[in-house]
Chain A
């Protein structure tokens, strides 16, 4: 069972890749991409937890007794759509920042703020 935690390991690495992009890269759209990666890793984590060995999709059918756990599926299904809606709000903010500052690079926006303040 050495591979028993493989999914969780990948989830952690994906999540940290997302976090790294959010912290280390200055472009605001790239940061949103990082957040999306982070978010998707959580989805993968939940769906991995819902999995049961030898089970099938949670749609009731005759002759099948073992189903995956439907609760995480219902939670993540809605979370995906909410996720894209909130990402769109983020993109709208980025577009407004571009309109106001003429740039979406964090360093340049900081520099412009310092000049004005």
Chain B
């Protein structure tokens, strides 16, 4: 099964090299994301598959499409000679093939990776953390500090995109951009109606994923991405004005910051209660109850930040795209 999926992945990757139309490349990339998500399912990595399906097949395709609608979809035929690139690539390939010949075989039960740390997570996490999903235990408790770093990186990336795209300089330069006429407003009746029906269920599902992450696949990262995908879908079909009635830029920015602060405040609270940084045992008199509170709050922080940052990113791109359109519409009146 996974050999078939890997072969498909190779075919899609080669198709991406050969395709010149960036719109088609984006579609291929989404297919690639979906295939790798299926591959992760066959390898028992359900949490990862969930994330990859939402990010690789969903959000990344949307962001690429928005970017392409600003920069144009045609790629020029490569005039440069690719021989040096081929030389570098084949040399690296040979070295890597030589390097992996010592690796343990796929699925080997005695591989070094399975002998250190992992047995402890599998055997003791139920007693120490008390939740069935080991991936959530590792993510939120054993490696809480690492996850905090990741959340800060995501937050910083959101600020970066916002700073790059919303400065007044960006908007004045944006007049060079002639956007493709591709607004979905007022067309595609079927998609609009289906979206309207599905929208509340997608949001509900995101909340379910958020709070059920302790027991099944899910958690803050997946929930945040699913939630943001629903809002972005709505914004694409019904226009930014409708979407920002509820999720205004300023609200989303505040939520992104609150998510990070919520996460950090759990760490500070554990310090004040006499434990180590992110030592949830000190949050309640019963260590397991403390772990549950800690995981709930930090997952909420992660979910808020991820969802808000994805929305900030999309809204920033969209603002830039709609700005020149508004200017172009004004010109005939002058």
Contacts and interface: CB of A to CB of B under 8 A. Distances in A.
Contacts of B13: 13-14, 17-18, 37
B76 A20 contact: no
B139 A74 contact: yes
Nearest to A19: B89
Given A37-B32, A95-B165, A73 B47 contact: yes
Interface string A69-109: 11111101111111111111101111110111010110100
Contacts of B153: 82, 85-86
A84 B157 CA distance: 10
Interface residues of A, number: 82
Contacts of A114: none
Q: In the complex, which of the residues B26, B45, B153 has the most CB atoms of chain A within 10 Å of its own CB atom?
A: B45
B46 A29 contact: no
Interface residues of B, number: 109
Interface string A7-31: 1111011111111110111110110
B194 interface: no
Q: Decide if the interface of chain B is mainly helix, strand, loop or mixed.
A: helix
Interface in B5-53: 6-7, 9-10, 13-14, 16-17, 22, 25-26, 29, 32-33, 36, 39-40, 43-48, 51-52
A74 B138 contact: yes
Nearest to A58: B134
A52 B216 contact: no
Contact of B165 (A14, A33, A96): A96
Contacts of A102: 176
Interface in B190-230: 215-217, 219, 221, 224-225
Closest 8 CB pairs of A and B: A4-B105, A85-B157, A24-B85, A99-B173, A23-B85, A53-B107, A24-B82, A70-B134
